[in-house]
């Protein structure tokens, strides 16, 4: 049996994606040895052990948001949060632990939120919803903070409708994923964007886009962990104010 399937079957973890994250991040041992491949075949009699993570969020992506909240000194206490691209709920989990009052978890997929979030009265699971077509009537309260972590679509395609339904003041945390923003010609065989010049151009393009939407750019940082295939990603902290800081993109990329 595959190791990731074994972890779910034997109730070590809740979802297959969570199991794969634990395995790839080196938290699963078989017979005392760290195994990093989800496809590893577990044999009868093998001793499987799952180590506790320092920050055990609903997905590894949660650590990206957590580190950004700390780096930019952002408080979510009593905030209403819109989590776009919620998936298993890594970002939502972090927001709740940081004091958020309520979460609207939006994802185009179905049945992805981990059980403890799906059953939490502070979380409204808006599954099967395409973020390009958000409607203000979906939300009973004013949104204070938006976090975005989407795949297979450019963030820029989501912004027009999103910004049209938000009421000032608000804050946003946007995860920029080069692998889903640039053309396929810039990806290597593993689907990774290695050329730092492309990273720089992409971030500068987004700075212009955000300013065009009259958003204030408050912070930009590299994600503390890479994407699943090894892509370096970036978090951009924005708000509804008009004034932006200046950033040395070359330095940020090379850090």
Contact 50, 7 (CB under 8 A): yes
Per-residue pLDDT tens for 44-60? 999 999 987 766 788 88
Sequence-ordered strand ranges (E) for the chain:
28-30, 33-34, 48-50, 80-84, 102-107, 123-127, 145-148, 171-176, 216-222, 234-239
Same domain, 25 and 88: no
Same domain, 71 and 42: no
Structural domain for 111, as ranges: 61-254
CA 255 – CA 250 distance, rounded (Å): 9
| pTM of the predicted structure, to 2 decimals | 0.81
The Cβ of residue 81 has, within 10 Å, a number of other Cβ atoms equal to 26
Same domain, 117 and 34: no
Same domain, 91 and 27: no
CATH number of 120's domain: 3.40.50.150
Per-residue pLDDT tens for 223-246? 988 877 788 999 999 999 877 888
How high is the pLDDT of residue 25?
78
136 pLDDT higher than 90: yes
CA 171 – CA 241 distance, rounded (Å): 9
| Cα angle 65-69-73, degrees, rounded to a multiple of 5 | 170
Per-residue pLDDT tens for 144-189? 999 999 999 999 999 999 999 999 999 999 999 999 999 888 888 8
Same domain, 88 and 173: yes
Structure tokens at 84: 């776009």
């Amino acid at each position: 049996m595959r190791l990731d399937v074994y972890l779910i079957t034997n109730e070590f973890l809740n979802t297959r994606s969570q199991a794969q994250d634990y395995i790839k991040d080196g938290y699963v041992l078989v017979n005392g040895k760290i195994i990093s491949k989800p496809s590893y075949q577990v044999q009868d009699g093998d001793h499987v052990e799952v180590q506790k993570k320092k920050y055990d969020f609903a997905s590894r992506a949660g650590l990206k948001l957590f580190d950004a909240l700390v780096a930019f000194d952002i408080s979510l206490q009593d905030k209403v949060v819109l989590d776009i691209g919620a998936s298993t709920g890594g970002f939502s989990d972090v927001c709740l632990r940081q004091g958020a009052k309520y979460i609207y978890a939006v994802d185009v997929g179905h049945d992805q939120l981990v059980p403890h979030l799906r059953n939490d009265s502070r979380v409204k699971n808006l599954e099967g919803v395409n973020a390009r077509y958000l409607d203000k009537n979906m939300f009973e309260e004013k949104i204070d903070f938006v976090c975005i972590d989407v795949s297979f679509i450019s963030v820029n395609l989501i912004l027009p409708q999103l910004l049209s339904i938000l009421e000032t003041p608000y804050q946003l945390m946007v995860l920029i994923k080069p692998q889903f923003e640039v053309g396929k010609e810039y990806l290597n065989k593993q689907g990774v964007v290695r050329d730092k010049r492309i990273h720089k151009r992409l971030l500068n393009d987004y700075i212009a886009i955000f300013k065009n939407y009259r958003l204030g750019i408050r912070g930009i940082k590299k994600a503390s962990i890479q994407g699943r295939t090894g892509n370096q990603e970036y978090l951009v902290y924005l708000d509804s104010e008009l004034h932006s800081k200046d950033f040395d993109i070359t330095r940020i990329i090379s850090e």
